[in-house]
Amino acid sequence: MALTGVLRPGHAQVRVLNLEESIRFYRDVLGLVETGRDAQGRVYFKCWDERDHHSYVIREADSAGLDFLGFKVLDKATLERLEADLRAYGLQTTRLPAGDLLETGERVRFELPSGHLIELYAEKTIVGNGVGLINPAPWDGAREHGIAPVRLDHALLYGPNIAEVQKIFTEVLGFYLVERVLTPDGQDNAAIWLSCSHKVHDIAFAEYPEKGKLHHCSFLLDTWEQVLRAGDIMSMNQVAVDIGPTRHGVTRGCTIYAWDPSGNRFETFMGGYQPYPDYEPLTWTFDNFGQGLDFPQRKLHETFLSVVT
């Protein structure tokens, strides 16, 4: 949790081309738990070990991509304060009413210079992770239905002006910079990894000319063996795999990038280290970005730089 009271990425809403096919994919292959559908036809999912009502929402649309990403904050007072801080910083905010997203309180939304819609919210119905609050087992059958990630972990977004985005996240929202890749001339950041916790990233951005692009939403697995299992399940289900299994140099995380049926990249990953706000950021030079992306292969896969939704 940031000192500001920002807790974690709590939901992403993603556009899919075919709702039924996507439900099958997210429920049975990625192994999310379906928790609801709303009047707009949106379908709500959570990861098995999450306790809030949902973390991933899909809606059918003509093009894939990210509608918005929401961060849960500590409470309503925090929400008020952060809205005031965003406005004081010069950003416009809008309010979405409680219930607009199922089981979710009021949301404060603003647009980043990179073109992404970010939301803050303080309330979402707690549904639990299925093992209860008294003498809980460490897991139950839901952990083994499909890939079954533990939680929505972070997202990597592509868009312009990430220097200004970084300022908003660090100066207003209380995030800190964990790692970064320099531009070829070494003068700017080509990509930044930001944390509001001790996760190696809660959100990341890469500089990109087009606004509002999604590189990937990332789902956490517990172990490297679960990453292998994820790759097996992807192959058994004809999921298009992009990169991995491998280790990122950046963040040390162990990963597979793949695409959902609509072409939205997602990541199943584990590992990395646990940074603190008093850590100096780690820096990757552009010439070594290949090692940062794919540590064993040291290869700057072309799709990483160019394929987004």
Ligand X SMILES: CC(=O)/C=C/C=C(/O)C(=O)O
**Which residues of this protein are in contact with ligand X, per CB under 6 A?**
156, 204, 218, 248, 250-251, 253, 267, 269, 292-293
Question: 281: buried, middle or exposed (CB in 10 Å: 19+, 13-18, 0-12)?
Answer: middle
Report, in Å, the least distance between residue 106 CB and ligand X: 30
Task: Note if 215 is an active site residue.
Answer: no
Report, in Å, the least distance between residue 161 CB and ligand X: 19
Report, in Å, the least distance between residue 185 CB and Fe ion: 25
Query: Closest CB to its own copies among 117 and 241?
Result: 241
Q: Bin 252: left if φ > 0, else alpha if -120 < ψ < 50, else beta.
A: left
Give the separation between CA 68 and CA 94, rounded to whole angstroms.
13
Judged by CB under 8 A, does residue 185 bind its own copies? no
Q: Which of 53, 199, 215, 216 binds its own copies (CB under 8 A)?
A: 199
Task: Note if 201 is an active site residue.
Answer: yes
Query: Closest CB to its own copies among 181 and 217?
Result: 181
| Helix (H) or strand (E) segment spanning residue 8 | strand 6-16
Task: Note if 302 is an active site residue.
Answer: no
Query: Closest CB to its own copies among 59 and 295?
Result: 295
Query: Closest CB to ligand X among 43 and 191?
Result: 191
Task: Note if 216 is an active site residue.
Answer: yes
Residue 225 contacts which entry, ligand X, its own copies, Fe ion, none (Cβ below 5-8 A, type-dependent): its own copies
Give the separation between CA 235 and CA 36, rounded to whole angstroms.
28
Concatenated DSSP letters of 196-228: SSSSS-SEEEEE-SSSSEEEEEEEE-S-HHHHH
Query: Closest CB to ligand X among 13 and 218?
Result: 218
Whose CB is nearest to Fe ion? 218
Judged by CB under 5 A, does residue 218 bind Fe ion? yes
Task: Note if 145 is an active site residue.
Answer: no
As given in the structure block, the two tokens for residue 123 are 């309330």
| Degrees to nearest 5, angle at CA 178 with 143 and 217 | 40
Straight-line distance from the first to the last Cα atom of the chain, in angstroms, rounded to the nearest whole number: 29
Residue 293 contacts which entry, Fe ion, ligand X, its own copies, none (Cβ below 5-8 A, type-dependent): ligand X
Q: Strand 33-37: give its sheet, edge to edge.
A: 33-37, 43-46, 56-60, 6-16, 65-73, 117-121, 107-111, 94-96
Give the separation between CA 31 and CA 229, rounded to whole angstroms.
12
Judged by CB under 8 A, does residue 284 bind its own copies? yes
Q: Single out the segment in contact with its own copies by CB under 8 A; choices: 28-36, 82-90, 164-172, 282-290.
A: 282-290
- Partners of 66 in beta bridges: 14
CA dihedral (198, 150, 127, 107) positive or negative: positive
Task: Note if 154 is an active site residue.
Answer: yes
Binding stretches for its own copies (CB under 8 A)? 1-3, 5, 7-8, 49, 51, 72, 74, 126, 133-140, 144, 150-151, 197-199, 222-225, 228, 231-232, 234-236, 241, 244-247, 249, 252, 254, 256, 271, 273-274, 276-285, 288, 291-292, 295-298
Give the residue numbers annotated as catalytic, written as ranges.
154, 201, 216, 248, 257, 267
